[in-house]
Amino acid sequence: MYVIVGLGNPEEKYLKTFHNVGYIAVGDVAAKLGVKFKKKECEAFVAEANLNGEKIILARPVTYMNASGRAVKQLLAKYKTDAAHLIVLYDDYDLPKASVRIRPSGSAGTHNGMRSVIAEIGTQNFTRIRIGIRDSEVNIPLINYVLSEIKKEDYELFISASNRAAEAAIAIASGKPVEVVMTNYNG
């Protein structure tokens, strides 16, 4: 069983911000698997899907970005799975806008939500799918940038990136090796 988590902030005012790209991507996973986020548990909105006979848990933490790890830790405990079966989708300022980068492990980089996840679950060894948000033409403080809305002219780019990230998450959860998925979706 896999737990697929999209990081973001739960309030509607954050819906189309860069920091909610993970929420958008896990929503795309849910749409592709034909499920909806119907229940709230473990400090997250949760959807359950079936993929090739295996249960898949999709989650959007409601803890706000900087405390995302609390929800992830609770979900792993409730569903009796470990970090090897965790996929986290999130925005990454260190990558160019709308690029997708998959890694089987690694540090949090500049991302506070990922710092929280790593601190709470005690390992960096889980799959992460990052969607780049950096725009070299924008020069504002990082905290202001990640909480700003995606520009209308860039929205389709991010929809496409979110869709690719969702497809990659589904491929990994269906049993494809991360290295193969990286080759097919990184870029």
Catalytic residues, which ones?
19
The number of CA neighbours under 13 Å toward the Cβ of 90 is: 30
Q: Where are the beta strands (DSSP E) in the chain?
A: 2-6, 39-41, 44-51, 54-61, 86-96, 100-103, 127-134
Nearest to 124, CA basis, from 162, 170, 86, 165? 86
> Which residue type sits at 77?
A
What token pair was written down for 2?
């896999």
DSSP, collapsed to helix, strand or coil, labels residue 25 as helix
Cα separation, 165 vs 129, whole angstroms? 6
Using only C-alpha atoms, the chain has a radius of gyration, in whole angstroms, of 15
Do strands 54-61 and 86-96 pair parallel, antiparallel, or not at all (unpaired)? unpaired
